[in-house]
Structure 1
């Protein structure tokens, strides 16, 4: 019988968070802090958000679908960066932080997103949770790195309780593999 592995908590890392969010315009950096929990090789990230002013529309008075997506992306990027930094497997334990920075924008793609609102949430102060439910990698061709597929879920709540939840399928497209110099010399 194997001993149960206790969940490990990773506190907010302001330097990592700021670097991850650097790709966003300053008025669109909604994620204010985040704590991660790792259990059985899976990460759950809990975040605090604040949208003082929408980056694209007049005040609607509630969290809307566009900003749900932006907040999800910010949690996703921070969760993957944390997995890489903390060497949380099975895929990200082989990446360097440079691999993450190089791939953050061009290679991490939302393949499918489904969200359900049960009520309006106050965008000026709410919380979110990102869960990495499933991770798989498969090589599509011998001359590229693996395609990484993530099954993820999320939810958002404010002081009045839950208001939005959903699931997202994420694809991380392959990085070209550097050819083996011995094999490359043999080819005509």
Structure 2
């Protein structure tokens, strides 16, 4: 499937093989359901933040006839896909100090059962063409919390656009309910 490439986004076909493989692995939970909307992605460290960008295309909705516009379900699926990829890249490249002890193998085991949306706020300014759109996701603050069991909270922001005037955004908090323990990093365990 082909989608237009947003400015500044390098197509996966031009990415190193390890980046292509990382995207394919991050999309594995969606592949068997034929709901892979994220077709190109990259992630980088910008100052204190991790930023993931991706190009998406929805050939056919996984749950409804074509509405002609990007909707809340597609927002959530697209966000999840870009977040899963961005977090995998951040772990691989050691962009998030609080996850420095995690390997990609640690992440793949936890990708579905341990990565949860705890807060979700989305805004739709202008309809987005679901056949070709782009997103940029920023992982900002990262915080350990000790509740009934420890968790790691990641505050994120996402912006979706298309080549016309389509625009939507969201502020989403993700929690990792099985995070690496901070005391294990300090003691070397």
Conserved in 1, the CA contact under 8 Å of 2:140 and 2:154?
yes
Per-residue CA deviation, residues 135-171 of structure 1 (Å, 9 max, x unaligned), is: 1123446xx6x41001101010001134100100111
2:178 alignment partner, one of 166, 174, 178: 174
Q: Which residue of 1 aligns with 2:141?
A: 134
Q: Which residue of 1 aligns with 2:115?
A: 108
SS at match of 2:113: helix
- Note the C-alpha offset of 1:174: 2.5
Q: Which residue of 1 aligns with 2:164?
A: 160
- Note the C-alpha offset of 1:89: 2.3
SS at match of 1:134: strand
Q: Which residue of 1 aligns with 2:126?
A: 119
Partners in 2 of 1:133 and 1:150 — Cα distance?
Answer: 7
Q: Which residue of 1 aligns with 2:152?
A: 148
SS at match of 2:144: strand
SS at match of 1:149: strand
Report whether the alignment pairs 1:96 with 2:100.
no
SS at match of 1:54: coil
Larger radius of gyration: 1
Report whether the alignment pairs 1:58 with 2:65.
yes
CA RMSD of aligned residues (A): 2.1
SS at match of 1:161: coil
Q: Which residue of 2 aligns with 1:14?
A: 20
Q: TM-score normalized by structure 1?
A: 0.81
Conserved in 2, the CA contact under 8 Å of 1:135 and 1:149?
yes
With 104-113 and 11-20 compared, the bigger mean Cα shift is at 11-20
The number of equivalent residue pairs is 166
Relative distance call for 1:176 and 1:83 in structure 2 (3 A) is closer
Q: Which residue of 2 aligns with 1:3?
A: none
- Note the C-alpha offset of 1:17: 0.4
